[in-house]
Amino acid sequence: MTKLADETLRTEIFPYGIASVGLSQVKRQVPLDEPPPLPPNDDLLFIGKPVPRQNGRAMVTGEIHYTADINLPGMLYGRILRSPLPHAEIQAIDISAAEHHPGVRSVIILSPPGDPQTAVLRYVGAPVAAVAAVSMAAAEEALALIRVSYKPLPFVIDMDEARKPIAPLVFDAASAPGGHPAGAPSALPLNGNVRGPSTVSRGEVVQGFAQADVIVEAEYRTQVQTHCCMEPHGLVADWRADGLTVYISTQFTAGVRHELAEAFELPLSRVRVVVDGMGGGFGSKSMLGNYGRIAVGLSRKAQAPVRIVLTRQEEQMDAGNRPATWQHLRIGAKHDGSLTAISLVSYGTAGVGLGAGVGNVAEALYTCPNFESAQNDVFTDAGPGSAMRGPGNTPGAFGMEQAIDELAERLALDPVALRDRIDPSPRRREERRIGAEKIGWQHRHVPGADAGPIKRGIGMAQSIWASNVQINSACEVRVLRDGSVQVLSSVQDIGTGVGTVLAQVVAEVFGLHPEDVVIRIGDTDFPSGPPSHGSRTTASITPPARTAAWRVLQLLLADAAVALNAPVDVLVARDGRIQVRDNPAKSMSFRDVAAGLRTDSISAVATRSDDYPGFRHKSGDAAQAQQDLGGVQFAQVVVDTETGIVRVERVVAVQDCGRPLNPRLIESQVQGGVLMGVSYALFENRIIDQNTGRMVNPNLEEYKVVGIREAPQIDVTVLENYQGNSATDAYGIAEPANIATAPAIANAVYNAIGIRLRSLPMTPSAVLAALGKVPQGNMTS
């Protein structure tokens, strides 16, 4: 350890690079109170090992408690009355009959008439009023007693219609949400129903296209996908005189606490947010939600705990969705493949919400000196969108990665070879190499080569996603006098197994087993953890966990040094003992050291420090590491050209997430991402009737989600990518695992049939139409 001029930092040497390519070293300056570098995974006991999920058994045996399982004494059941019309003004609302229902304890009006800010409803399913009653049946009965008179207003569902100047207006300037497709707060211009454009540009695009030898240009469309969490959105709100406790299925306990404190004017110290088991969120459970505010409002009024759990129909209509998009892409390139210009125009609709952009795939995936984009949000009278696994980049990759394949064909280059030329990422280069080998890329035939109606094809596509970090992330590690260990943070496990990963990291520090580490998470009474969105949980919370454990260990080592009469810097924790590094005989058990504590427990709280080489970007609590996350997927499909049925037989997913902490859990997330991508590519579609504004498939029967028979064989490889960035050097995996799947499938379909499917989902109807087999026009008239 060299002391630097800055007395708070020291210099350390970290392993660096991609393990399968060859590791080098990098020097980093590390805060003095952070642990020394971890060696590569091969030299570790628990980190990087497929440790089984700690609560896996409890999950599959039904022992875990989900929010819907919570039953507090005196708890009431909340239900929400929702708009049957896509655009209407409430002229009168009468709740008196509902209030007189014997089972009802509170009724609240959510859209009071009189004020246009509250009285206008803009999608079927918008909340109108809510009741809390002693039983679900009573709540349902009470809803039916609420009398509302609606004045129907003109509405628009279809995005293309909504863009027309004559379209009915969803919002006027005063009522429209501001914002930015990429999430920045500044308000963009509003023209009719179009908010935008939000623009990015670099270089000289006109010149770039003039220099191009080849230009490809096409339009792509993606549909609305709903999150379909196995566990619906829900909470139990318990309003008491001394504070509010909310048990909620959430991706962000600490964030929900902030929202509650602000909405209900309570000090943070009097708001507690708790989550135990969670059945999925995928971006839709990052915020409190209207249903959350409603439950708290009902609880406050009724002076009793209130549970609201959405029905599947409510889930489909008003619990967020992945916005639909339309993208126009133009790409110019030289004969050698080098890109000269990219231009992107997009329109997307998140219904009454914002955030329907197509991300930064076109902007950032490939080297191209000249770039311009204009992304627009279009308001329609449909339920608001929300973030969903790889928001923006998932639809964006569907367009861009097909366009790149099309370019490769025009240039007579292999799609992998073209990417080798224009993709600067060494991670994706290695991922392409591994994936191509596994899928058998060299045996790939020319498009449409199979004889007969059943055609097979192979395709690939790439992902780009920021390495996100939440710097507002803290973790406490405690060692108790009996030698047991606890890890405490408000971070929540949304199903990824972050608790297990924390146990691995802390066990590695103490020389204990992961099973010996007790994980207490999902409760804002513990130090504030990060959200589980933006693939940032592991990157944000494991470094402070390791740092906190390391600081506690220093205290224990100091005690042990006295007891063993050895200098502290030769002591190590290993196999449940504290020992002199080169003399295992001179040791004492971890327990015995703990038994000597002056107090029942000692603890340390650590926070997420900045990445050692600094962040690329930092704003508020959020930051992004220097390197992006990659990810390359290969798909093998079979297309029946006479029925239009597409099946994905195999997906090879090669991903990276910094230092992989638990390959088993990572694999399970990648499988989930791929399945979600297959489902997006082939099946899912929110269908709204244009004449009534109602969703016709608000269930899981006609809203089609991939089933077991449509699940491909999924082959997952994860790079070890060391960057020397933090105490664990780990980043996320959830979103990158989803982004490349649909375009890989689309490129494989092209390889099978020689025809591009530029819109999603690729149903038999779409495939047969693309093949020119569907008679045109309405034959009834």
Partner 1 sequence: MNRFAWATPRTISEAAAAATTLVADAMSSDPTGPGVVTVLKAGGIDLLDLMKETLLMPATLVNLQQIPGLDSIHPGEGGALHLGSMVTLATLASHPLVRQRYPALADAVSRSASPQIRNVATLGGNLLQRPRCWYFRAKEHHCLRKGGDHCFAIPGENQYHAIFDNSPCAIVHPSTAATVLVALNATVELIDAKGTVRRPLLVDFFGPPDQDIMRENNLKPHEILTAVLLPAVPASVRMAHLKQGEKDSIDWPLADVAVLLDLTPDKMCKSATVILGAAAPVPHRAEAAEAALIGKHIDEDIARQAGRAALNGATPLSHNAYKLPLFETLVHRAILAAAG
CB of 589 or CB of 697, closer to partner 1: 697
Backbone angles phi, psi at 145, to 5 degrees: -90, -10
Residue written as token pair 């924790």: 573
CA distance 747 to 740: 11
Our finding on whether 2 is near partner 1 (CB under 8 A) is no
Rounded to the nearest 5 degrees, what angle is found at the Cα of 656, between the Cα atoms of 535 and 607?
45
Q: Smallest distance, Å, CB 305 to partner 1?
A: 24
Our finding on whether 73 is near partner 1 (CB under 8 A) is no
CA distance 202 to 199: 10
CB of 567 or CB of 775, closer to partner 1: 775
Cβ–Cβ under 8 Å, residues 744 and 635? yes
Biggest CA-to-CA distance, the chain:
97
CA distance 577 to 555: 15
Buried b (16+ CB within 10 A) or exposed e, 196-223: bbbebeeeebeebbebbebebeeebbbb
Our finding on whether 765 is near partner 1 (CB under 8 A) is yes
Which neighbouring-strand residues pair with 632?
A: 462, 654
Our finding on whether 691 is near partner 1 (CB under 8 A) is yes
Q: Per-residue string for binding with partner 1, 707-726, x by CB under 8 A?
A: xxxx----------------
Q: Which stretch binds partner 1 (CB under 8 A): 378-386, 477-485, 502-510, 698-706?
A: 698-706
Tokens read off for 744: 């890989």
How many CB atoms lie under 10 A from the CB of residue 335?
11
Our finding on whether 702 is near partner 1 (CB under 8 A) is yes
Our finding on whether 689 is near partner 1 (CB under 8 A) is yes
**Sequence-ordered list of residues with C-beta below 8 angstroms from that of 644, at least 6 positions apart, any chain:** 763, 764, 765, 766, 767, 768, 771, 773
Binding residue (CB under 8 A) for partner 1 from 518, 697, 754, 755 = 697
CA distance 631 to 65: 34
Binding residue (CB under 8 A) for partner 1 from 52, 264, 694, 754 = 694
Q: Which stretch binds partner 1 (CB under 8 A): 199-207, 549-557, 594-602, 760-768?
A: 760-768
Q: Smallest distance, Å, CB 707 to partner 1?
A: 3
Q: Which stretch binds partner 1 (CB under 8 A): 418-426, 499-507, 660-668, 689-697?
A: 689-697
**Sequence-ordered list of residues with C-beta below 8 angstroms from that of 678, at least 6 positions apart, any chain:** 648, 651, 706, 710, 711, 712, 741, 745
Q: Which of residues 632-651 bind partner 1 (CB under 8 A)?
A: 642-645
Q: Smallest distance, Å, CB 773 to partner 1?
A: 4
CB of 443 or CB of 709, closer to partner 1: 709
CA distance 630 to 143: 49
Binding residue (CB under 8 A) for partner 1 from 4, 13, 60, 137 = 137
Our finding on whether 151 is near partner 1 (CB under 8 A) is no
CB of 21 or CB of 768, closer to partner 1: 768
Binding residue (CB under 8 A) for partner 1 from 593, 706, 748, 760 = 706
Q: Smallest distance, Å, CB 761 to partner 1?
A: 9
Our finding on whether 45 is near partner 1 (CB under 8 A) is no
Q: Site size for partner 1, by CB under 8 A?
A: 34
CB of 571 or CB of 749, closer to partner 1: 749
How many CB atoms lie under 10 A from the CB of residue 20?
14
Our finding on whether 690 is near partner 1 (CB under 8 A) is yes
Binding residue (CB under 8 A) for partner 1 from 84, 112, 426, 511 = 84
Backbone angles phi, psi at 714, to 5 degrees: -120, 125
**Closest Cα partner for 296 from 261, 329, 321?**
261
Binding residue (CB under 8 A) for partner 1 from 59, 434, 687, 755 = 687
Q: Smallest distance, Å, CB 150 to partner 1?
A: 13
Backbone angles phi, psi at 703, to 5 degrees: -85, 110
Cβ–Cβ under 8 Å, residues 109 and 129? yes
Q: Smallest distance, Å, CB 638 to partner 1?
A: 13
CB of 526 or CB of 683, closer to partner 1: 683
Q: Smallest distance, Å, CB 759 to partner 1?
A: 14
List contacts with partner 1 (CB under 8 A): 84, 137, 642-645, 683, 687, 689-692, 694, 696-697, 702, 704, 706-710, 763-765, 768-769, 773-776, 778-780
